[in-house]
Amino acid sequence: MNHGHGTSQSKEMDVPPDSLVRRLLAHYEATRRAMPWRETRDPYAIWVSETMLQQTRVDAALPYYMRWIEQFPTIDALADADEAVVLRAWEGLGYYSRARNLHTAARVVRERYGGALPDTAAGLRALPGIGAYTAGAVSSIAFGRAEPAIDGNARRVYARILDLEDDAIPAIHRAAVAIVPADRPGDFNQAIMELGATICTPRPHCQRCPVEDLCLARVRGTIPIRPSVAPSKAVPTFHVATAVIIDDDGSTIVTQRPSAGLLAGFWEFPSRICGRSAVARNARELATALIGAKPPRARRIDPIQHAFSHRIEIYHPFVYRVRTTDVAGDVAAAAVSPSMLSALPLPVAQRRIASAAGIPRA
């Protein structure tokens, strides 16, 4: 078999790459799961799928992918879209910087590359939001480049098969360079990731593995420590006072988050991080500033919790029924109807607050 980087084995490797490649490709052909992005050669569609699959399970990403390709079928269509529309299409998928980076990169590709994605890993990495994994995946799958694609599943597979003590992503990448074949590199990368997703899981099913006898960690009994697992860090929790101000027409007041940082550009009900015992006072202060008068007595909603990757936020919504939602003075907020609220990009927790407050979804 012709390997893109030669067939010589690195000093860490005692695994014959030809046998490994041949068996994994045969297993992939026989057992691979059907996914729409595996039925296309469109680099844009492959790029979208790989971006969505970062930090997201296949079954969760699938409906978003189908809707996205229908709504933004080409790089030009995505580049032409307003950011709010792009964020709304991504709403609920999480890690929203992925959507903003896709949008920004689409515009860069149109302006600098005539609307065609670069066909090398290095060229792809020059685009916003594309790191080593996505560059390797897209360049190998869409353009046939012999580049590794190391996600969490691939890292686990390589660390076990090669029994690597140094299993940081850069080390795994260096080891994989000697294995990824010049023939069908995209299929091979997907075969590695598929094995990690279905068989070489954190609790592996070694008896079903097509390369069990080639796996050095299996032979040496080191599977329980491959790959290494970093100790988990404590996740901080924040209490968020939230003012839900609704008028007789069902309109409500919302504010837009800053253009950078967590949930950048999304809209939300006016809120403020504070101590758990101070949520009622802070919500009342927010409502007073927004309507320019002391608000009526609030109806308190059960707290709504949302876990981000690095923090937990517990929202404490207080619903204020007012005659009008005219925003006072120069407060940076807007009064929107239920239909306008439905069209805005709102984080999942904010949709839950709206539902609990009785705001109809148009």
Cis peptide before 236 (omega within 30 of 0): no
In the chain, what are the helix, strand and coil shares in percent, each to the nearest 5? 45, 10, 40
Catalytic residue ranges = 50
Provide the 8-state DSSP code for 184.
S
d(CA 186, CA 37): 12
Smallest CA-to-CA distance from 48 within 178, 138, 132, 148 is with 138
For residue 305, list its beta bridge partners. 314
In whole angstroms, what is the distance from residue 41 CA to residue 217 CA?
35
Q: Which of 214, 281, 227 is nearest to 21 (CA)?
A: 214
Alpha helices in the chain (DSSP H): 17-31, 43-52, 58-71, 75-80, 83-90, 97-113, 121-125, 132-143, 152-161, 169-177, 185-198, 216-220, 279-291, 338-343, 348-357
